[in-house]
Each structure stands twice: as structure tokens, then as C-alpha cells.
Structure 1
Amino acid sequence: MTRWWWVRHGPTHQKTFTGWRDVPADLSDTARIERLSAYLPDDAVLITSDLQRAVKTGDAIQSGRVRLPHVQALREFDFGDWDGLHFSEVAEKDADLSRAYWETPGNVTAPNGESWNDAASRVRPVVDGMNNANHRDIVVVAHFGIILTQLQRAWGKSAYDVLAQTIEPLSVTQLTHDAGKWDVGVVNHSP
């Protein structure tokens, strides 16, 4: 059995698509970070995406946990040409594609970016490999979209249904993998 503790990185205060752009997280709420770290299992291994907002959040909650190398495959969705643009700019520039991206997520791809299914396929081998590595508890500091792909996998719902789920910065979503089956614990929990 492997318990996954998916932590969304600290807030970036971006009002735009923020995918592979390497923007920092605001980690000034030290009391909240201390509560988050205390909530997570002490003997867990800790991994993060390689983007600084995840790496620095991981640094802030490491607290003696064994740290594994950063994993590029855990990055947020690649929004391609939309990265850095406000949602209204994208809707104006690519009206039909923008609408399809949100209304029929799955294979719809941002220009020069990736689709929901592409991102989920990128993360799956990392998760499968870790499930086979005999870790009881794994804390992963990752991103909104990546956490949602794992909820989709555990719930067996459509991307569209999962896309409505809120995942706040510094929240925890806990999933358990046991003998090929997934169980969903807390979702978007703020300790």
C-alpha cells in the first residue's frame, strides 16, 4: 500500500496561465506552512516538480523527510503559447479553441502546448514507478492540473468532471494505492 500526499505549491499570485513558466511561490505564511508540514507523515519521502514554486515549497515542508530528486514530469500542464496570457486574452485570441479546452478537456491542446491527456500520460509512469518502489508514504509537491489528473485516475471520472474540483495552494489531496486500486481520502484539505 502506498499513500500519496499531493500538495499544491504555494501561491504564485499569477492572474494568467501559468504552466512551465518558472515563477516563484509566496511562502511568507510560515504558520500555514508549519501546519501543513506537521499534518504530513514524518517518515514520508518527498518529491517535487522541478519548477521553483514546487521546489521551494518542498524545501519549506521538508522537515527531515527524505528528499528525492526533482521530477520534470511532475510539472504543470504545458500551456504553450498561452503561458503568461490572461484567460480573457486567450478567449479573445483563440475563442473556439479556448472554449473547447475547458468544455471538452482531454485531447484538446493549447497551441504548442499539451492536452490534459498528454499531461496525464506524462505523470502516469512516475506514479506507477513510485507505487512499485515500496514507499509507504509519498509527499509530492506539484501543481493544480497534475493533482487533478491523479484525482481523475482515482475517481475514474471524466476530465471535464474533475476540472471543476478546487485545489488551493498549500492544500493536501491524499490518495491511497493498494493492489492496483485507488482510494480517495481528503481532497483540497487545508491543515
Structure 2
Amino acid sequence: MTTWHWVRHGPTHQKTFTGWRDVDADLGDTGAITRLAAHLPDDALVISSDLTRSINTATALQGTRTRLPHDPALREFHFGTWDGVHFSTVADWHPDLSRAYWETPGDHAPPGGESWNASAARVAMAVRRIEAAHSGRHIIAVAHFGVILTQVQAVLGITAHDVLGHKIDPLSVTSLNRATGQAETINHTP
């Protein structure tokens, strides 16, 4: 059975939608990184999205673990024209759509972006592909808030609306086993 250890990248300190826009992570809390690296399985494979904040966080956690190539399918949700824009401005621009995007996640998509369902499908295909290539392994996947929530949703079999009630902090780990439908931890900060 493959166990996924989903790690949210380090903090970006962004106060806007941050999806495919490439911003770096603040990895200055070396104590938190050391504790997280020690908590994760030594024999795990490490993979990340291809965005700088995830790549650099994965590098900080890697140690002697084997690294897989960065995977663009593990990117955060594509917020389209909302990326880099403050949440209140988006609400002014698109009051009904921005409310629906969070209150009834599913097929609502920002202009030029992807819906919850499209993002979840993209990540699910990547997870199946990676599991097929590395069956039975522990996999540390350094990714993003939305990506991790899609996997919590899939493993627990809950709605997108319900999974949005979960918190996923920077440098936290969410350990999931899809085969057993179990979440060992959600948003754990060692």
C-alpha cells in the first residue's frame, strides 16, 4: 500500500490569490523544517509541484531521500485572472462567482482558471500515475493547500464543501492511504 505524506510548502506571506504564479517560500524557520524532516519516513520518495515554493521546500526536506522529478500536475489550483489579486477585489469584480467558488465548489471556475472539479481531476490522475510507478512506497509530496484538500476529499469520500473546513498550514503534513481510505494525520505540525 502506498502512503502519501502531503506537505504544504513553506509560507509565502502572500495576501492575494496565489495559484500558478511562481512565488518563493520563506524557509527561514529551520527548526520547523528539521522537525518535519525528522517526522517523515527516511525511505520515502520525494516529489513536488514544479512551482518554486514547493521545489525549495522539498529540497529543504529531502536529506538522503530519493527525489522524483517535479510534477506540474501537482500545482496549486489555477486561479486565472484572480491570481495575484486580493480576495476583496475579486469579490468586487465577480461577487456571485467568487462566492459560489468557495460556497459550492465544483464546476465554478475563475475567468481563465480551473474549477475545483478540474483541479481535483488533474491531481487524481497524477496520484494514480505516481502510485502505479512506485507502488507500496511512502511518498512525500510537497504541494499546495488546494492540492492537499483534493486528496483529503478523495480519501475520506466527502464533498468539496466539507473538505474546505479543514485547515492545511504551511509546513504541515497530511498522511493519507488511498487503499484503506484512512487519513493518518491531517494538518499535523511536528
> Counterpart in 1 of 2:139?
138
Identity of aligned residues (%): 59
Partner letter of residue 108 of structure 1? H
> Counterpart in 2 of 1:120?
120
State the distance in 1 between where 2:125 and 2:91 align. 33
- Once the two structures are superposed, residues 145-183 of structure 1 have per-residue CA deviations (whole angstroms, 9 ceiling, x without a partner) of 0000000001111100101210000000000133xx421
> Counterpart in 2 of 1:188?
187
Does structure 2 conserve the Cα–Cα contact (< 8 Å) formed by 1:168 and 1:188?
A: yes
Number of equivalent positions: 189
Task: Report the more deviating stretch, 96-105 or 125-134.
Answer: 125-134
TM-score by length of 1: 0.97
State the distance in 1 between where 2:56 and 2:63 align. 13
> Counterpart in 2 of 1:15?
15
Does structure 2 conserve the Cα–Cα contact (< 8 Å) formed by 1:131 and 1:177?
A: no
Gaps in structure 2 of 5+ consecutive residues: none
TM-score by length of 2: 0.98
| 1:18-97 matched pairs, under 5 angstroms | 18-97=18-97
- Once the two structures are superposed, residues 5-59 of structure 1 have per-residue CA deviations (whole angstroms, 9 ceiling, x without a partner) of 0000000000000000000000000011000000000000000000000000000
Q: What secondary structure, in the 3-state scheme, does the structure 2 residue paired with 1:140 have?
A: strand
Q: What secondary structure, in the 3-state scheme, does the structure 2 residue paired with 1:186 have?
A: strand
Gaps in structure 1 of 5+ consecutive residues: none
Instruction: Report how far residue 135 of structure 1 moved.
Output: 4.0
State the distance in 1 between where 2:18 and 2:74 align. 14
Instruction: Report how far residue 131 of structure 1 moved.
Output: 2.2
Task: Give the superposed CA RMSD.
Answer: 0.8
State the distance in 1 between where 2:15 and 2:94 align. 18
